Amino acid sequence: MSSRLLSGVATLALFAGAATAQDLKFAPGADARFDWASYEAFAAAHDLAGEQITVFGPWLGPDQELVESVLAYFAAATGADVRYTGSDSFEQQIVVDLEAGSAPNIAVFPQPGLAADMAARGFLTPLGEDAEAWMTEAYAAGPSWVALGVYAGADGSDAFYAFPYKADVKSLVWYSPENFEDAGYEVPQTMEELKALTDQIVADGETPWCIGLGSGGATGWPATDWVEDLLLRTQTPDVYDGWVTNEIAFDDPRIVGAIEEFGWFARNDAYVAGGAGVVASTDFRDSPKGLFDSPPQCYMHRQASFIPAFFPEGTEVGVDVDFFYFPAYAEKDLGSPVLGAGTLFTITKDSPAAHALIDFLQTPIAHEVWMAQGGFLTPYSAANPDVYANDVLKGLGEILTNATTFRFDGSDLMPGGVGAGSFWTGMVDYAGGKPAADVAAEIQASWDALK
Amino acid sequence: MDNIAGSKSGLSWAVQISTLLIVLLWLFPTVGLLVSSFRTADQISASGWWAALFPQEQNEVIRLADPDEARVPDGAMFVVSGNLFDGAERQITAWGTSSRRIAEFAPGETAELGEGETLTIEASGDYVWRGTDDQLSGRAQRSFVTVVSQPEFTLANYDNMLFDPGNSEGMARAFFNTLTVTIPATVIPIVIAAFAAYALAWMQFPGRALLIACVVGLLVVPLQLALIPLLRLHLGIGIGKGYLGVWLAHTGFGLPLAIYLLRNYMASLPRDIIENAKVDGATDFQIFTRIILPLSFPALASFAIFQFLWTWNDLLVAKVFLIDATGDTTVMTNQIVELLGTRGGNWEILATAAFVSIAVPLAVFFAMQRYLVRGLLAGSVK
């Protein structure tokens, strides 16, 4: 009886698997905005019938459905059996799998720092010079994207190991346009105006910012984004690049200055909803909800492009809430720097199908399918921006393609012990009232200890 | 005598009351979790679960109906009318039209929105919004209402988790997979440990004491230490990731405690019985199966409960030894983690999942509970 039940469940699962492979979100050839020619050409060039390819990444839940909908096109074009699994503890699990030798074909790293570690230990397969040359040409600010995927291998020589696909823009401030209208505020164009607006809101008896650093074991990371964004707005990109590689020490006055800029916003009781004391303990997923309270707890929230997933149910982005670019200082003439993040596709177990999947990511259709469903931004300029699911995403995409300076999230580039360790805890200490210079010195000491 | 009896009853009252208090304190978080599992994500982030049980005054922002669809001509003007709560029974105590003045008007009053545009909201939530063609188009007006709302609970979380087509199939599969992992992972260590425990308790052989010391020593080895070497061994000898691997891993990690617990229990059985049996010519195997096993049943059952609960709740061992990149094998705990989403903010799912996954261990516990109490004393009294 129970074995019959089990096999019933197994067949059911089998059918369900087959069904998702067949169900393409957009019928090929139907919508003229999509680049179907690239899909047809890819399908004609690749036949992988009967091959299985496994993909392991950090996406779960709704995001998992989205990535599977893109992979379904690869499966339909080549006949390969594509399996995606996600994990919330990707960073730990991929290390165990690579060390033990049970790696998937493709691993999707959210952090270049970790991918570089794995490449240095010889676990990754180079993607080849064609992919590198393609990305230099096709991505906006191409060389800076390529640089994210070039690491030293086990033999010490540099090669292109990781393919950046799917980006997040971090330099954004979210606000409610109607609350701004009610109070008569204008969207600030420069950092000076943003600071003046902050003071203005306080003078009106309201609270300007919602800031929350809480994130379970990763508490503190939202503050690292603030510091990175502010460093790009107070110093040249060279300083930023030197900082993430530790050529410029963490306790350099220029870095301490950026931390203190963050303190200007977050350590002032009048500027933050609930007071500066609750910044470190408020969960980052809950903090944007203050924008939508009645009366509003705060007027602005600085967070990356993924945050609408945590807005209250029924919130319509573009109507109830909108974003503006976290502005730069007018007086400093540093252009309009953009801080971002993204995920990197790497080959962890070599097979022809794995290389074919990397080729697939170089077709416009692989980008457009996800763009049209939301939650996805791409610097690939040949992907049609008209397919973005809404105008807000299109606006975000334009920020990415128009950036004069694009820099990847610095804490993801630093070694794990700093970027996912002492930097986070240091920022929690700083938000709690510790002097910036002391915090920076401690982080530098932890970095020295890793060398 | 009266005196002594009186003080005794006073003491037992004190004991009973403090036991009750401890039980209540102990259950407090579980009750909170249970209440939260019947609330929506927005409710959970807006107020604590203790507030969910009583009527509450809340401030809400509600958008009127889309004027481009709902407006009707009224002379030279247009009118949009409807109910803010879609007919639900709620009482407005104050309302406003600006985020700066959310309690500007009393129910029934009419707000002037400028240039002849007006809005009236009644206590029941019925509203009439009147204005010109230009004013009643595009984005709908927001209303800020102060309402007293009754406690509200929903079964949507359970519905989503157990019956939503996207989740239920995965949950059902994970449920059977978990049973496939758990039952052998409970039975195998008990079988091995029972034999080992008998040998260590009643058979004389050189090095027995040293062997017992080794088993006790293994109790303190953290299993995290063994993950990568063990997985490498499994891959090397061709087991790979799968059920066999996870059974072996659970067996290995569970054995030291099982052997230790059962040996102590068996060693405490009366020596006379075993010696009598030996005199009557019974072999060790006969003594084990006919005498020791039936007598050790409480200890076996209590270890079975422990091992079942551990393997049922386990996520780490399953992730390392079972769940491979094809995603065919998943367990309940992993399925629940997946439901939490990429950035894990879905508290309502977490609370609901806790109660769904608790069901089977609870059933096992109550079915075997009387052995657990006896078995907990295993080895402590003769």
Instruction: Give the 3-state secondary structure of residue A267.
Output: coil
Q: Judge if B169 and B253 occupy the same domain.
A: yes
Q: Judge if B112 and B13 occupy the same domain.
A: no
Q: Judge if A76 and A215 occupy the same domain.
A: no
Measured from the Cβ of residue B377, the count of other Cβ atoms closer than 10 Å reads 13
Q: Judge if B18 and B78 occupy the same domain.
A: no
Is A167 among the domain residues? no
Q: Do A62 and B59 touch (CB under 8 A)?
A: no
Nearest Cβ partner for B320 among A96, A182, A309: A96
Print burial letters for B60-92: b (CB count within 10 Å at least 16), e (below 16): bbbbbbebeebbeeeeebbbbbeebbeeeebbb
Is B381 among the domain residues? no
Task: Give yes or no for a contact between B52 and B44, defined as CB atoms under 8 angstroms apart.
Answer: no
Task: Give yes or no for a contact between A271 and A198, defined as CB atoms under 8 angstroms apart.
Answer: yes
Is B382 among the domain residues? no
CA nearest to B295, candidates B202, B231, B367: B202
CATH of the domain at A353: 3.40.190.10
Q: Do B342 and A103 touch (CB under 8 A)?
A: no
Nearest Cβ partner for B99 among A99, A102, A296: A296
Print burial letters for A192-218: b (CB count within 10 Å at least 16), e (below 16): eebbebbebbeeeebbbbbbbbbbeeb
Is A165 among the domain residues? no
Residues B178, A328: Cα–Cα separation, whole Å: 53
Taking the CA of residue A159 and the nearest CA in chain B, the distance in Å comes to 26
Domain that holds residue B137: 55-149
> Mutate which of A66, A102, A179 to disrupt the B interface (most B C-beta within 10 Å)?
A102
Domain that holds residue A182: 172-336+412-450
Is B316 among the domain residues? yes
Q: Judge if B77 and B22 occupy the same domain.
A: no
Task: Give yes or no for a contact between B135 and B70, defined as CB atoms under 8 angstroms apart.
Answer: no
* Length of chain A in terms of residues written: 451
> Mutate which of A85, A221, A299 to disrupt the B interface (most B C-beta within 10 Å)?
A85
Task: Give yes or no for a contact between B319 and B335, defined as CB atoms under 8 angstroms apart.
Answer: no
Q: How many domains does chain A have?
A: 2
Q: Judge if A54 and A78 occupy the same domain.
A: yes
Tell whether B243 lies on the interface with A, counting CB pairs under 8 A: no
Tell whether B138 lies on the interface with A, counting CB pairs under 8 A: no
Nearest Cβ partner for B102 among A6, A96, A295: A295
Helices (H), A316-405: 352-360, 364-371, 391-402
The residue of chain B nearest to residue A184, with distances taken between CA atoms, is B100
pLDDT of residue A397: 86
Residues B382, B378: Cα–Cα separation, whole Å: 9
Tell whether B113 lies on the interface with A, counting CB pairs under 8 A: no
Residue A139 burial (C-beta neighbours within 10 Å; 0-12, 13-18, 19+): buried
Q: Judge if A237 and A326 occupy the same domain.
A: yes
Q: Judge if B260 and B324 occupy the same domain.
A: yes
Q: Judge if B164 and B126 occupy the same domain.
A: no
The residue of chain A nearest to residue B145, with distances taken between CA atoms, is A294
The residue of chain A nearest to residue B61, with distances taken between CA atoms, is A294
Q: Judge if A208 and A291 occupy the same domain.
A: yes
Task: Give yes or no for a contact between B337 and A88, defined as CB atoms under 8 angstroms apart.
Answer: yes
Q: Judge if A54 and A185 occupy the same domain.
A: no
Q: How many domains does chain B have?
A: 3
Q: Judge if A269 and A350 occupy the same domain.
A: no
Task: Give yes or no for a contact between A378 and A369, defined as CB atoms under 8 angstroms apart.
Answer: no
Q: Do B142 and A178 touch (CB under 8 A)?
A: yes
Q: Which stretches of chain A score pLDDT less than 50?
A: 1-22
Q: Judge if B337 and B255 occupy the same domain.
A: yes
Q: Judge if B88 and B235 occupy the same domain.
A: no
For chain B, 382 residues long, give each residue's pLDDT as a single digit of tens.
445 545 567 888 999 999 999 999 999 988 998 998 898 887 887 778 888 888 878 888 888 888 888 888 888 888 888 888 887 778 888 888 888 888 888 888 888 887 888 888 888 888 888 888 888 877 888 888 888 877 788 888 888 888 887 777 788 888 899 999 999 999 999 999 999 999 999 888 999 999 999 999 998 888 888 888 899 899 889 888 889 999 999 999 999 999 999 999 898 888 888 888 889 998 989 999 988 888 888 889 889 988 998 999 998 899 889 888 777 788 888 888 888 777 776 778 888 888 888 888 888 888 877 776 665 555 544 4
Partners of residue B61 in chain A, C-beta under 8 Å:
292, 294
Angle at the Cα of A263 from the Cα atoms of A260 and A269, rounded to 5 degrees? 155
Taking the CA of residue B247 and the nearest CA in chain A, the distance in Å comes to 18
Residue type, A368: E
Interface contacts (A, B; CB < 8 Å): 120
